[in-house]
Amino acid sequence: MSSVLSRKAVTELLLRVKRQKRLNFEDIAKKLNKNKVWTTAAILGQHPMSECEANTVLDIFGIDSTNNEQYEEIKNLLMEIPTRGNQPWPPTDPTIYRLYELMQVYGPSIKALAHEQCGDGIISGINCELDMNKKSIENEDWVEIKILGKFLRYPK
């Protein structure tokens, strides 16, 4: 009888196989025909996958029903709606903390500009597109983060 897996255990399994197979998130995203940020978040347990997406990921990772008795359980966990944002707060990872710091410093300005240009409302974190790209500027690595969030107006 198989043991009960957690979503965290599935994430750890996928990351271990990803390292062993030398896969990268961008290539996985291309095979899924999905955005690389969404794909990475889904593999890290922040988005549910469709059955087709879960099957494709399991195929990419070489996990199939003939070599893994927990195949169906893994697939079902990939499709389950997760508890999102389950990271420690405040963030302790330096990169995540710096993104939090950016929002502490520039969040009020972004909010003020959004209200000035769009009116009373919020920038959606659900109806949004995210992208991240490496840029080389004067032989140094830079990271470009793009956020395109739908503006949701408060009712009058």
What positions carry a catalytic annotation? 98, 101, 124
Q: How far apart are the C-alpha atoms of 42 and 7, rounded to whole Å?
A: 11
CA distances, 120 to each of 111, 116, 117 (Å): 10, 8, 9
Could you tell me which residues come within 8 angstroms of residue 128 by beta carbon, excluding any fewer than 6 positions away?
147, 148, 149, 150
* Other beta carbons within 10 Å of 53: 18
Which of 74, 96, 101, 77 shows the shortest CA–CA distance to 85? 96
What number of other Cβ atoms are within 10 A of residue 110's Cβ? 14
d(Cα 83, Cα 46) in Å, to the nearest integer? 7
